[in-house]
């Protein structure tokens, strides 16, 4: 299992992470980000892509 | 349109956004923004304040409004029409997300970093051409060749072919203008020519894949899914169409903003590491994309305003980026701490090329500041109107050579 955090002060709810890794990130009806902090390593590639595409670079891996 | 059912009808300002003299940076607009978070326009509503633009840009109740642009101009078929209706910018839902996922890896900020030395070399090469004369036409001599050659570098096309690419992209750009219908034949011919170009490029990289950007697009796959040849071609045309005029215009507007704020130009010259900040600040106060267009997919109420399905919503970027409610000191300030601007749009259609644009402009601006002292207008400048996409067409400037 791996763990991520999102810097909520930076996050601007663009939802690009939810396009890249829909199993970990999603946007609720209000357009606000929700995500799983802990996820299966099988999703690591997707999550790395989400980290890359976030326009404000708000997603970080937790060791 | 449902704007008619809004409460406080009388206090809602009205803006004629298709009047060629309509100005974003005007008393009229500032007064409207002070009076109300939105204005009525001759086409739907315009959202003027930061918080509301931020919220609505990402609202699931709104979709890309530009899908209807050709139809709105009486264009219902042809090559441009077909391409427009299938490109990422106007696709929605899973159709959009699938293409975006397949394009994303090529735009990784890590890969774009590798191109920075080439951006720097290009900027210096262009400046070398005119530096000794103490004057230049900033668009023709710098902004346009820079923006276009950055794309040829990205796409791995010989840089010498930039004039052809520039011509084709500008011709297709006529499709966004008010004379679209008259220009349709020219536009369609340019799309056909650019298609040929893109198809050759794709075939070449399919036969000889490398580490370059187009090879990455050709090889991109996810969950067993790949872009087919038509999708690849459409995407390449969108990158050329969406990446060139925007960057050219934004560089021209950056020069305008710095000429109005010479002490900030001096600061950038002394501290080139502020290049990235310079890009953010210029795009906040002087964005080339002056509004992003959205359309309501369902009836909904926002801040007491009933917005009916089908309503066009123009989200104003410059007005939101200088809104005193969000920016108590809205002036250009490379040392200021400001919330994010929406010059690259936002939400699911957030600009795909922003890492490229940010990287190339944040190299160009400090190099220019370091070499051109006291840049100033010398007369004869020509401008696009403020509606939609703006910027200088010609920008003759004088300066003192520093190095
Ligand atoms: C200063 C330069 C640029 C500016 C100001 C800019 C601005 C924008 C804006 C505002 C949007 C959103 C439009 C909307 O939501 O209606 C957008 C989308 C887009 N841009 Fe850019 N752009 C720039 C450079 C680039 C570059 C260099 C590329 C490609 C290499 C590019 C490719 C795209 C694409 C593909 C989209 C559509 C994304 C989607 O719908 O998912 N842009 N751009
Ligand atoms: C009376 C109605 C309208 C007028 C007079 C108008 C006028 C304009 C003008 C003058 C431009 C700038 C063209 C240029 O920079 O060359 C523009 C840009 C644009 N307009 Fe409109 N427009 C209208 C309605 C619409 C509607 C209904 C849509 C979409 C549903 C739309 C979508 C766009 C788009 C996509 C652009 C390009 C800029 C951008 O990226 O947002 N417009 N419009
Ligand atoms: S992509 Fe970045 S800014 Fe957008 S919702 Fe995800 S974390 Fe937030």
Instruction: Quote the ligand 2 centre to B200 CA distance (angstroms).
Output: 32
| Structure tokens belonging to residue B317 | 């970027």
Tell me the average pLDDT across B104-109.
92
The answer on pLDDT for B172 being more than 80 is yes
Instruction: Quote the ligand 2 centre to B74 CA distance (angstroms).
Output: 13
Chain A contact for B321 (CB, 8 A cutoff): no
The DSSP element (H or E) to which B383 belongs, if any, is strand B382-383
Nearest to B13 by CA among B24, B30, B5: B30
Name the pairing type of β-strands B14-15 and B38-41.
parallel
CB B398 within 8 A of CB B135: yes
What per-residue confidence (pLDDT) applies to B1? 40
Residues on chain A touching B105 (C-beta within 8 angstroms): 49, 52
Chain A contact for B167 (CB, 8 A cutoff): no
Closest Cα in chain A to B338: A10
Instruction: Quote the ligand 2 centre to A20 CA distance (angstroms).
Output: 30
CB B34 within 8 A of CB B11: no
Please report, for residues A49, B92, B177, the alpha-carbon distance to residue A55 in angstroms, rounded to integers and kept in the order given: 12, 19, 29
At CB < 8 Å, which residues of chain A contact B?
12-16, 19-20, 22, 27, 29, 31, 49, 52-53, 55-57
Residue B346 to residue A27, Cβ atoms within 8 A? no
CB B313 within 8 A of CB B47: yes
What per-residue confidence (pLDDT) applies to B388? 74
Select the more confidently predicted residue: B17 or A35. A35
- Rounded CA separation B320/B313 (Å): 14
Residue A14 to residue B108, Cβ atoms within 8 A? no
Residues on chain A touching B94 (C-beta within 8 angstroms): none
- What whole-number percentage of chain B has pLDDT above 70? 98
Residues on chain B touching A55 (C-beta within 8 angstroms): 344, 346, 350-351, 354
Residue B104 to residue A52, Cβ atoms within 8 A? yes
- Distance (Å) from the C-alpha of residue A37 to the closest C-alpha of chain B? 22
pLDDT band (50, 70, 90) for residue B186: very high
The answer on pLDDT for B9 being more than 60 is no
Q: Considering every ligand atom, which ligand is closest to the CA of B385?
A: 2
Q: Where are the domains of chain A?
A: 2-62
**What are the E-state strand segments in B48-188?**
62-64, 135-137
pLDDT band (50, 70, 90) for residue A42: very high
pLDDT band (50, 70, 90) for residue B5: very low
Residue B400: what are its φ and ψ, rounded to 5°?
-105, 130
Q: Considering every ligand atom, which ligand is closest to the CA of B348?
A: 1
- Ligand 2: nearest atom to the Cα of B314: 41
Nearest to B178 by CA among B75, B39, B294: B75
pLDDT band (50, 70, 90) for residue B68: confident
Interface test with A, best of B104, B113, B344 (most A CBs within 10 A): B104
**Quick one: B88 exposed, middle or buried, by C-beta within 10 A (0-12, 13-18, 19+)?**
buried
Q: Over chain B, what is the mean pLDDT?
A: 93
DSSP track, A4-39 = EEE-TTT-----HHHHH-TTTEEE-TTS-EEE-SEE
Instruction: Quote the ligand 2 centre to A62 CA distance (angstroms).
Output: 44
What per-residue confidence (pLDDT) applies to A18? 97
Tell me the average pLDDT across B140-159.
95
Three-class SS state of B210? coil
Q: Which of B42-56, B225-239, B344-358, B380-394 has the lowest mean pLDDT?
A: B380-394
Is the beta carbon of B178 within 6 A of some atom in ligand 2? Answer: yes
Chain A contact for B50 (CB, 8 A cutoff): no
What per-residue confidence (pLDDT) applies to B18? 81
The DSSP element (H or E) to which B85 belongs, if any, is helix B79-86
Which residues, in sequence order, are CB contacts of B148 under 8 Å at separation 6+? B162, B163, B165, B166, B169, B244, B248
Nearest to B6 by CA among B312, B302, B294, B297: B302
Closest Cα in chain B to A14: B347
What per-residue confidence (pLDDT) applies to B6? 47
What per-residue confidence (pLDDT) applies to A26? 97
- Rounded CA separation B50/B54 (Å): 6
- Distance (Å) from the C-alpha of residue A59 to the closest C-alpha of chain B? 14
What residue's CA is closest to ligand 2, atom 41? B292
Topology of domain A2-62, CATH? Alpha-Beta Plaits (3.30.70)
- Rounded CA separation B112/B120 (Å): 13
Instruction: Quote the ligand 3 centre to B148 CA distance (angstroms).
Output: 30
* pLDDT tens string B381-399: 999 988 778 999 999 999 9
| ipTM of the complex as predicted | 0.95
- Rounded CA separation B54/B48 (Å): 10
What per-residue confidence (pLDDT) applies to B4? 46
What per-residue confidence (pLDDT) applies to B352? 97
What per-residue confidence (pLDDT) applies to B379? 97
What per-residue confidence (pLDDT) applies to A47? 97
The answer on pLDDT for B8 being more than 70 is no
The DSSP element (H or E) to which B392 belongs, if any, is strand B392-394
- Distance (Å) from the C-alpha of residue B40 to the closest C-alpha of chain A? 25
Our measurement of the distance from residue B85's CA atom to the centroid of its chain's CA atoms, rounded to an integer in Å, reads: 19
Tell me the average pLDDT across A37-54.
96
What burial letters (b/e) apply to B235-245, b meaning 16+ CB within 10 Å?
A: bbbbbbbbbbb
What per-residue confidence (pLDDT) applies to B2? 42
pLDDT band (50, 70, 90) for residue B3: very low
- Ligand 2: nearest atom to the Cα of B174: 16
Regarding pTM above 0.90, the answer is: yes
For each of the domains in chain B, give its residue range(s) and CATH number, in order of start. Answer: 9-401 (1.10.630.10)
Instruction: Say which residue the tokens 């004869």 belong to.
Output: B380
The answer on pLDDT for B31 being more than 90 is yes
Residue to probe by mutation, ligand 2, list B349, B388, B390, B392, most atoms within 8 Å of CB: B388
């Amino acid at each position: 299992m791996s763990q991520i955090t999102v810097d909520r002060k930076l996050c601007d709810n663009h939802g690009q992470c939810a396009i890249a890794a829909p199993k970990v990130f999603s946007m609720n009806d209000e357009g606000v980000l929700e995500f799983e902090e802990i996820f299966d390593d099988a999703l690591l590639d997707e999550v790395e892509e989400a980290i890359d595409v976030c326009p404000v670079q708000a997603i970080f891996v937790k060791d | 349109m449902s704007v008619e059912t809004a409460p406080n009808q009388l206090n809602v300002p009205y803006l004629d956004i298709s009047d060629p003299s309509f100005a974003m940076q005007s008393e009229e607009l500032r007064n409207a923004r002070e009076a109300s978070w939105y204005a009525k326009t001759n086409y739907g509503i315009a959202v003027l304040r930061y918080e509301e633009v931020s919220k609505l840009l990402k609202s699931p109740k709104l979709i890309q409004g530009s899908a209807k642009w050709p139809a709105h101009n009486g264009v219902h078929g042809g090559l441009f029409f077909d391409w427009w209706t299938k490109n990422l910018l106007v696709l929605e839902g899973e159709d959009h997300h699938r293409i975006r996922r397949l394009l994303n890896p090529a735009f990784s900020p890590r890969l774009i970093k590798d191109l920075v030395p080439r951006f720097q070399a290009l900027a210096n090469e262009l400046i070398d051409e005119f530096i000794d004369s103490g004057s230049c036409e900033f668009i023709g001599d710098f902004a346009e060749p820079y923006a276009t050659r950055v794309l040829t570098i990205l796409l791995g096309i010989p840089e010498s072919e930039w004039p052809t690419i520039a011509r084709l992209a500008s011709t297709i750009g006529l499709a966004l203008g008010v004379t679209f219908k008259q220009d349709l034949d020219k536009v369609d011919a340019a799309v056909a020519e650019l298609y040929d170009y893109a198809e050759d490029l794709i075939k070449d990289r399919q036969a000889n894949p490398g580490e370059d950007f187009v090879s990455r697009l050709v090889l991109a796959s996810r969950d067993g899914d790949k872009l087919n040849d038509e999708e690849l071609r459409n995407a390449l045309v969108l990158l050329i169409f969406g990446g060139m005029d925007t960057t050219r215009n934004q560089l021209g507007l950056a020069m305008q903003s710095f000429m109005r704020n010479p002490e900030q130009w001096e600061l950038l010259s002394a501290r080139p590491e502020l290049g990235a900040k310079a890009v953010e600040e210029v795009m906040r106060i002087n964005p080339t994309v002056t509004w992003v267009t959205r359309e309501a997919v369902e009836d909904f109420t926002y801040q007491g305003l009933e917005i009916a399905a089908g309503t066009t919503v123009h989200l104003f970027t410059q007005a939101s980026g200088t809104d005193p409610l969000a920016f108590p000191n809205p002036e250009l300030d490379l040392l200021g701490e400001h919330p994010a601007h929406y010059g690259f749009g936002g939400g699911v259609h957030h600009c795909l090329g922003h890492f490229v644009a940010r990287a190339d402009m944040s190299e160009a601006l400090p190099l220019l500041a370091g070499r051109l002292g006291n840049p100033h207008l010398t007369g004869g400048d020509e401008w696009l109107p403020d509606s939609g996409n703006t910027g200088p067409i010609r920008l003759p400037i004088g300066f003192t050579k520093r190095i």
